[in-house]
A and B are shown apart, each in its own frame.
Chain A
Amino acid sequence: MTGATQFEWGLWARQIGAIMRLEMKKTFFAKRGLWIYILAAAPALLFFAYTLAQKNRAEHAADLASIKAEQTEAIQIKMTADDVREILGRPYARFKYMDPDLPRSRRRDPDAMIEVLMYSDGKANYEYRFRQGQLYNVNVRTQRLLTDDNTVFATIFQLFYLRLAIFFGCVGVFMNLFRGEMIDKSLHFYLLAPIRREVLLIGKYCAGLLATVVIFGMSTAFQLWSVYGSLTAAQSTEFWSRSGASTLSAYMGVTVLACVGYGAVFLVAGLIWRNPIIPAATLLVWEGANIFLPATLKRISIIHYLQSLCPIPASPSGTIEGPLRLLVSITEPTAAPIAIAGLLTVTVAVLVLGAWQARRLEINYSTE
C-alpha cells in the first residue's frame, strides 16, 4: 500500500468520525425521532408486562396449591364430582356454565350445565369438567413452559419487531440523513467541505447505524432479559445448558443485521426519492408478501435472510387462515453463513448505488 493511500484512509476515518459526531444529535436526540424510541420500547414493555403477568400467575397458583400431582393419577373419566372431591378435597374454584353443544332450548336446564372444579399443585392448574354429573374432560395448564416463551418471543420478534419496529425505525433514522437535510435546506453544509461524496455517504450510514443498533439493540436486550431473565431456576438451567448463549447472540446479531440491511436501503432511498413513503411502502409490501413468494424471489429480500438467522422459527403461516393459507410458500431457511453473506452483499450493492447517486447529487432546494 502506498503512503498516499494510507493518508487517504486516515483522512477518511477522521472525516467519518466528524460526520458521526455531527449526526449524533439528530439521530439520537431529535424531537421528531421520539416515535422511534416508542417503536423500540413497545415490544420491550410488552415482554416486561408478559413476564410480570407470568410471575403473578405463578405466585397465584402457588398460593392456591392444595393437591399433589400424584393425587391426580387416581382420577378417572366418568367419575362424579363428589368422587373427585373425595380424592382431591375442596377445589379452589368451582363454577357452572351452559353447555354450548346442547340445543338452545335445553341449555338453561340446571342439570344440563357443565360443572368445572379447579385445583392447583403449585405448578399446574387442573380443570375437571363434568357433564350430566360425570367427568368427561381434564385440562392441565402448566404455569409456564420454556417452549411457550421461546415461541412467543420468536413470533413477536419476527412478525412485529423485525418487520415493523426495526423496519420503520430505520425508515425514520436513515431516510432523514439526506432527505431530511434537503428539506431543512442544510445539506450544503456537508457539500461545501472537502469530503468525497462516498465518504459522506458512509459517514452518515455509520451514524444511522450506530443510532439504530443502540436503540433497537438495547430494546432486544431488554426483551431477552424480560423473557429469559425471569425463568425459574430449573428453566434457566435447561435454557443455558441447551442453547441459551447462542439464542441470545443470534437475536442480537439479527437485530444488528436488520439495521445494517434496512439502513442501507432507506439511506439510499432517501437520496433517490423525494417522497420516502413510496419506497418504504413498496418494500413493506414486498417484505410482507415474502411468505407467499417462491423460493427464488424470497431470496431477494432482507426479511428472508433475517428469519433464516433467527434461532427459533416463527411460522407466519400459523397466523394466516382461510384460502390465503394455500398460497403460503414454505422454504428451507438459508444457511447462516450464506444468509449473512447474502445480506451483507445486498447492503454493499445498495451502498455502491448510493455512492454513485451521491456523486451526482445537486443542491436544488427549491424543488424539495
Chain B
Amino acid sequence: MYSRSFTVAVLWGSSMNDTGIVFDNVSKFYGDVLGVNRVSLTIPAGITSLVGPNGSGKTTLMNLLTGLIKPSRGTVNILGISTNEPEKLFRIAGYCTQFDSFPKGLTGFQFVYSFLRLFGMTHAEAEKRSWSAIERVGLVEAAKRKIAGYSKGMRQRIRLAQSISHDPKVLILDEPLNGLDPLVRAETIALFRSLAAEGRYVIVSSHILHEVDMISDQVILLANGYVVAEGQIKSVREEMREHPMQVLIRCNKPALLASRVFETDHVVEARIHSDGGGVLVKTRDADSFYRLLNHIALNGVDIESVAPADDNVNSLYEYLIGSEEVTR
C-alpha cells in the first residue's frame, strides 16, 4: 500500500540505475548562437567541477542536464533517466540555479517547504525536511523572514537548501559559492564533500580555479561551448605543468628572496616586482616551491603574502585553448 511518508528510496525512484550522467553528442544552439557543441561525457559519482569563463557554456550544460532547456541534438541521461521526464528526474536530482529570483512574498522556510509540497509530500514531511535542509545551510534564524530581505549570500544558501531538501542522489550547483562569506564558504564546501562521500553525484560550476582545486574530484573544462579538457584534477594539473606557475610573494627582502629561489631547478624566472615590494616567481613545481618558501620564511625573510598570479581561469585558458588551437 502506498505510504504518504516518503523515504529516500521512494524519492530516488526505482527507474534509477547507476550508469552515471551521460551526455551523448549533445549540442545546443540558441538560434544561430552556439551554447555547447558536440559534448560527449560520462560523469561519475563524486564532485565534478565545470570550469570555464563566463559564456563558456557551463550554465547551458547544467540547464541541459536538468531539462530546463532541450538539446538541439543528442541526448542527456541522468542515472538512466531522460531529462525529458522531469517527474522522475527531480526525484533524484536537485539543482541550485544561478537565477536570483524567487516566487514573490515567500519566506525562506516557505520557499523550501512549498517546493517539497510540489513533490506531493504531506505537511509534516515537508516541514521536517525543510527545517533539516535549512539547518544544513545555517539559515535557521532567518528562515521565517521574507527572501526579499535576504542578502545575496543568504539567497544563495536558501537556494542550496531547496536543492538538497529532498535528499537528491544528483546535486547540480551553478556557482554555488558566489556571495558566500569565507566561513560559510568553508562549511558549504564541507557539505559538498560529505554529500560526495555518501556516493552522490555533485556537479559544481565555477570560474574560480582556486575553488575548483579545493572542491573537485574531477573537472570538465569548457571554452566557447566546447569541452577542452576533462578528467581528474591531478591529471589536468599535470598537463598544466608544461606552463610554469606564477606566484607573487610580498616580502621585506625581495632581492634576497629572488636569489634564494633562483638557486632551485624548478624556478625558471624570478623577477622583482615593479613597486619593489615583492617578487614574481615562475616555477614548474608548485609543491616544492611552497616547501622552499616555508624554509626561506624561517630564515630571515619576512613574508607578507603569497598569491598565485596565474592560478585563475583566464591563465588556464590561455594555456589550454592555446594548445587546443595547435592540435586542431
Q: Which of A10, A185, A191, A194 has the most CB of B within 10 A?
A: A194
Shortest CB distance A63–B (Å):
54
Indicate whether A365 reaches chain B with its CB closer than 8 angstroms. Answer: yes
Q: Is A189 an interface residue when CB atoms closer than 8 A count as contact? A: yes
Instruction: Select which of B2, B101, B117 is within 8 A of A18 by beta carbon.
Output: B117
Identity of the chain B residue whose Cβ is nearest the Cβ of A3 in the assembled complex: B2
The reply to whether the CB of B89 lies closer than 8 angstroms to some CB of chain A is yes
Write out the residue numbers on chain A whose beta carbons fall within 8 Å of the beta carbon of B91: 194
B97 at the interface (CB under 8 A from A): yes
| Cβ–Cβ contact A186 & B101, under 8 A | yes
Total interface residues on A, CB under 8 Å, equals: 35
Nearest to B101 among chain A residues (CB) is A185
Residues of chain B within 8 A (CB-CB) of A199 are 87
**A196 to chain B: closest residue by CB:** B87
Chain A residues with CB under 8 A of B162: 192
Shortest B225–chain A CB gap in Å is 16
- The answer for the CA separation of A21 and B116 in the assembled complex, in Å, is 13
Tell which of A7, A19, A363 touches B2, judged by Cβ atoms closer than 8 Å.
A7
In Å, the complex CA distance between A364 and B102 comes to: 16
Chain A residues in 8 Å Cβ range of B163? 192
Q: Which residues of A contact B63 (CB under 8 A)?
A: 363
Kindly identify, within residues 32 to 74 of chain A, every residue whose CB is under 8 Å from any CB belonging to chain B.
Answer: none
Contacts A21-B117, A193-B119; A188 near B87 (Cβ below 8 A)? no
Given A194-B87, A194-B90, also A188-B68 (CB < 8 A): yes
Nearest-neighbor residue (CB-CB) of B110 within chain A:
A22
Q: Pick from A15, A188, A194, A195: contact of B99, CB below 8 A.
A: A188
Known: A7-B2, A18-B117. A192 touches B90 (CB 8 A): yes
Query: Which A residue sits closest to B96, measured CB to CB?
Result: A192
Contacts of A123 in B (CB 8 A): none
Query: For the complex, is B193 an interface residue (Cβ under 8 Å from A)?
Result: no
Within 8 A of A (CB), among B89-120: 89-91, 94-95, 97, 99, 101-105, 114-115, 117-120
B207 within 8 Å of A (CB atoms): no
> B105 and A194: CB pair below 8 A?
no
B250 at the interface (CB under 8 A from A): no
Chain B: minimal CB distance from A28 (Å): 12
Nearest to B63 among chain A residues (CB) is A363
Q: Which residue of B lies closest to A367 (CB)?
A: B30
Contact A186-B103, Cβ < 8 Å, known A191-B86, A194-B119, A197-B86: yes
Once the chains bind, are A19 and B68 in contact (CB under 8 Å)?
no
A192 touches B104 (CB 8 A): no
From the candidates A3, A189, A195, A362, name the one contacting B103 in the complex (CB within 8 A): A189
**Does chain B have a CB within 8 A of A11?**
yes
User: In the bound complex, how far is the Cα of B99 from the Cα of A11, in angstroms?
Assistant: 28
Q: Give chain B residues whose Cβ lies under 8 Å from the Cβ of A10.
A: 2, 120
B66 at the interface (CB under 8 A from A): yes
Would you call A195 and B86 a contact (CB within 8 A)?
A: yes
A176-196: contact bitstring with B at CB < 8 Å (1 yes, 0 no)? 000001001110111111111
List, in ascending order, chain A residues with CB within 8 A of B101's CB: 184-186
> Is B118 in contact with A193, judged by CB distance below 8 angstroms?
yes
Name the residue on A nearest B113 (C-beta): A18
> In the complex, A147 Cα to B247 Cα: how many Å?
94
Contact A191 B114 (CB under 8 A): no
B140 at the interface (CB under 8 A from A): no
Whether B214 is near chain A, meaning CB under 8 Å from some CB there, is no
Most buried by B among A26, A189, A195: A189
Q: How far is the CA of A21 from the CA of B67 in the complex (A)?
A: 25
Cβ of A185 and Cβ of B99 under 8 Å apart? Answer: yes
Complex A-B: 24 CB contacts under 8 Å: A3-B2, A10-B120, A18-B118, A19-B118, A21-B114, A22-B114, A26-B103, A184-B104, A185-B101, A186-B102, A186-B104, A188-B68, A191-B67, A191-B68, A192-B66, A192-B68, A193-B90, A193-B115, A193-B118, A194-B88, A194-B90, A196-B87, A199-B87, A362-B69
- Residues of B in contact with A (beta carbons under 8 Å apart): 2, 30, 63, 66-70, 86-91, 94-95, 97, 99, 101-105, 114-115, 117-120, 162-163
Nearest 5 CB-CB pairs, A to B?
Answer: A193-B118, A18-B117, A194-B90, A185-B101, A363-B68
Seed contacts A18-B120, A188-B97; 16 additional CB < 8 Å A-B pairs: A7-B2, A15-B120, A18-B114, A25-B105, A30-B104, A181-B103, A184-B104, A186-B101, A186-B102, A189-B103, A192-B90, A193-B86, A193-B118, A194-B88, A194-B90, A362-B68
